[in-house]
Structure 1
């Protein structure tokens, strides 16, 4: 039986459990549940006041609308999509009877590049589908020729983490921008790949001059856009899942609002996890946090140098997500898919996120990379104006008059530090890649960044949580 709350506040030693999991994001929740199903006693400790990490939802009240969540659209402030090859995440959704529906994409995509706006029946993000956009033929040919060379490099990488590949060192020395400069010859083609770098989950997002070419190739190998990871949205939002997972664990397992300060492997207990409130003895620990956040923890004995370097340099993505709601998805009446991409000042990508059961129209807009830093420095009213101006440039003047507007500034989130995921700068994979998964004594690592398949996505988080739990069970047997 756990120590009383009064004892915990005094910083006393709590009753031991088999495993402490640090971080109640999707990966930590999954790991805790797997261990519990294997008859392990588990304690899950989360710094924030709610579980979920980067998986968070809300109901969005509409201006002038009736009260009550049934008349509001749900929104996902964090991740929202799933795809057909993301099998572990799909199994989790089935278990919790969360229904999915096809992402709205009937109609034309909009591209704005320079001073030109075009509609086309297609899409491109890592690979092209359907009709190409109405850019000069030479520009499109330049982008496609470079894409062919890019995909040839991707195909050379093995499955799993990339840093032991014979060509890894040479690829890791280059930034993605180095490769873009060498293989594109038109501004459109250069932007085509830079946009990809800022839009896709495993890339942070980051700017192409910041991220390793090896990291980009590896991400495309293990989380390819060609497998349609944005195929489905979820009725009620992905953000409903953390509470369901937490409820499965039971009230005594999850502790919220309690940042972990350190992990000690010394003394009479194999491991002790330390917070401001108590010390929690256990036989093993899973740290289910992005490496950049794990850098805040003090480890005794100290982490090896490559792990400390990894945590110091594997930065979180710079991205804010903005949800904008309307009485209806009016763009569909104009034959538009609600998907728009382009080199606008703030929003490079927006997507229709409307649940057909709600009747409301919802656009998800993303402000990433250098655009994020410029946008985040603006006053609140200026940020809103900048987003709505870009949406109007893409979809039309009706975009300027939403019924609701909600920003989620992920880099400002104190216990997350960014979205979608952490990314590797040049040289880090080949110098520190082994440290990403290697245990530190009885400390094991989890999180979507650790996954060898679908890193940066829900699927990567689920797989990582399951794999970390399996490794701990081997250690404890």
Structure 2
């Protein structure tokens, strides 16, 4: 039996992550009626966290998804200010730790794409090789347009090659090769991905539109970023949000007149959004999902071939985030910032995520790419032991005795299946890039992957949600 028809509305938004929530609120402000339908039991998608209950009554908040914002991410900052969410500078006083091969050093600097401060104590030939390659990388970045890159005159050639091809051609030392491979796995707009998986054009475009030099990890949020989705959904009012209700299909009709025997209902609301529980008639839809998840939906009429291929081939990043909580940020007593980088077996990057208002020490550690595949195959105790062993190699043996250890294995999360975002393999941008933002009839696309500025970050999600809502409103007149 067909599910019952719900009350008709102007718009349905599919997906209640940050982008979908922003789009829904923008539609409401424009005076449009809507439904927001989310497959999971909670809102937020990749923007989520939890409050821990520790001995002594302390209740630190940890972000299991994204957590940082930067000074040029203006739409996200406006959203935080509107909801009274305060921010503080990410802790970075002290030295960074680098472990490469059998060597460990500390230095008063940092590198993730761009270098700042003191260089690490690696052989000068290694550092010079990395910096010479970085200069060539930035020269290619500067040639790209501000928007999506597939119209660039050299797009086909850049897209044909993997990032690993470029690394092999451009670097001459193991350290310089690792420098860029680490960059590919660590930065949000890349998925993350291994350099042999991802298009060179995609990496260049990511650095063009979400440059690390603009410090996207400048601020953390008191109470965590994961508090925002509940605040946004609370603004929508009763009856708008549907949770735990996966959308299965989106069906469009294009009637010219009332000849359907339904009193003109189809002409007024020519789109049907189908779930297992109901059918939602509406005038237009925003699909606010990663392309890989949108591939699970059925469309009638069918999507164009390039959009289908985009959904099928734009894979989600393989990344787990691990939050390790201590009585206090003990690494600061050793003159360390809590930021560590290196070619350890599991954790290539960790950072101090401690909120000064609760006093706990919190390290955020990331397991990405091929490392994630190997780590995910371990048992629970093995995964924990592997992460803590790497943190101890970076920061010292005190890392082995946390108060709490929490993992979020994003590839295993239903209806998300990866983090930070989706990435493009070689050739996909030039074959299917036109489909990224192009509406399919009355279906519009949103999500951080769709953004032309700050893709892969909160800012990209906010911008794409606002832009999709504005396009839908314009379409409806």
If the length of structure 2 is used for normalisation, what is the TM-score?
A: 0.97
2:222 to 202, 210, 235: 235
**Is 1:131–2:123 an aligned residue pair?**
no
Unaligned runs of 5+ in 1: 1-8
Please give the alpha-carbon distance, in whole angstroms, between the structure 2 residues aligned to 1:278 and 1:341. 49
Give deviations 1:334-380, integer Å, cap 9, x for gaps.
10000000000000000000000100000000000000000000000
1:27 corresponds to: 19
**Is 1:213–2:225 an aligned residue pair?**
no
- Following superposition, the deviation at residue 61 of structure 1 comes to 2.8
2:131 to 144, 147, 160: 144
Please give the alpha-carbon distance, in whole angstroms, between the structure 2 residues aligned to 1:126 and 1:255. 41
1:17 to 9, 25, 28: 9
2:30 corresponds to: 38
- 3-state secondary structure, aligned to 2:194: coil
1:6 corresponds to: none
Please give the alpha-carbon distance, in whole angstroms, between the structure 2 residues aligned to 1:157 and 1:297. 33
2:245 corresponds to: 258
Please give the alpha-carbon distance, in whole angstroms, between the structure 2 residues aligned to 1:110 and 1:250. 48
**Is 1:189–2:176 an aligned residue pair?**
yes
2:471 corresponds to: 471
Please give the alpha-carbon distance, in whole angstroms, between the structure 1 residues aligned to 2:416 and 2:25. 22
- 3-state secondary structure, aligned to 1:15: coil
Indicate the RMSD between aligned Cα atoms, in angstroms: 0.9
Q: How do 1:30-109 residues align onto structure 2 when only pairs under 5 Å count?
A: 30-62=22-54, 65-67=55-57, 71-109=58-96
- Following superposition, the deviation at residue 10 of structure 1 comes to 7.2
2:377 corresponds to: 377
Give deviations 1:53-73, integer Å, cap 9, x for gaps.
0000101233xx045xxx121
- 3-state secondary structure, aligned to 1:233: strand
Give deviations 1:66-102, integer Å, cap 9, x for gaps.
45xxx12110000000000000000000000000000
- 3-state secondary structure, aligned to 1:110: strand
2:388 corresponds to: 388
- 3-state secondary structure, aligned to 1:282: strand
Please give the alpha-carbon distance, in whole angstroms, between the structure 2 residues aligned to 1:445 and 1:158. 21
Please give the alpha-carbon distance, in whole angstroms, between the structure 2 residues aligned to 1:157 and 1:60. 44
Please give the alpha-carbon distance, in whole angstroms, between the structure 2 residues aligned to 1:332 and 1:180. 35
Unaligned runs of 5+ in 2: 254-259, 261-265
Matched residue count = 464
Give deviations 1:319-340, integer Å, cap 9, x for gaps.
0000000000000111000000
Residue pair 1:263, 1:272 contacting (<8 A) in 2 also: yes
**Is 1:169–2:156 an aligned residue pair?**
yes
- 3-state secondary structure, aligned to 1:249: coil
Please give the alpha-carbon distance, in whole angstroms, between the structure 2 residues aligned to 1:138 and 1:408. 39
1:359 corresponds to: 359
Give deviations 1:453-477, integer Å, cap 9, x for gaps.
0000000000000000000011000
Residue pair 1:61, 1:404 contacting (<8 A) in 2 also: no
**Is 1:203–2:203 an aligned residue pair?**
no
Q: How do 1:451-466 residues align onto structure 2 when only pairs under 5 Å count?
A: 451-466=451-466
Residue pair 1:86, 1:229 contacting (<8 A) in 2 also: yes
Please give the alpha-carbon distance, in whole angstroms, between the structure 2 residues aligned to 1:226 and 1:294. 32
Please give the alpha-carbon distance, in whole angstroms, between the structure 1 residues aligned to 2:34 and 2:230. 17
Please give the alpha-carbon distance, in whole angstroms, between the structure 2 residues aligned to 1:349 and 1:375. 15
1:115 corresponds to: 102
Please give the alpha-carbon distance, in whole angstroms, between the structure 2 residues aligned to 1:196 and 1:401. 29
Give deviations 1:86-141, integer Å, cap 9, x for gaps.
00000000000000000000000000000000000000001000000000000000
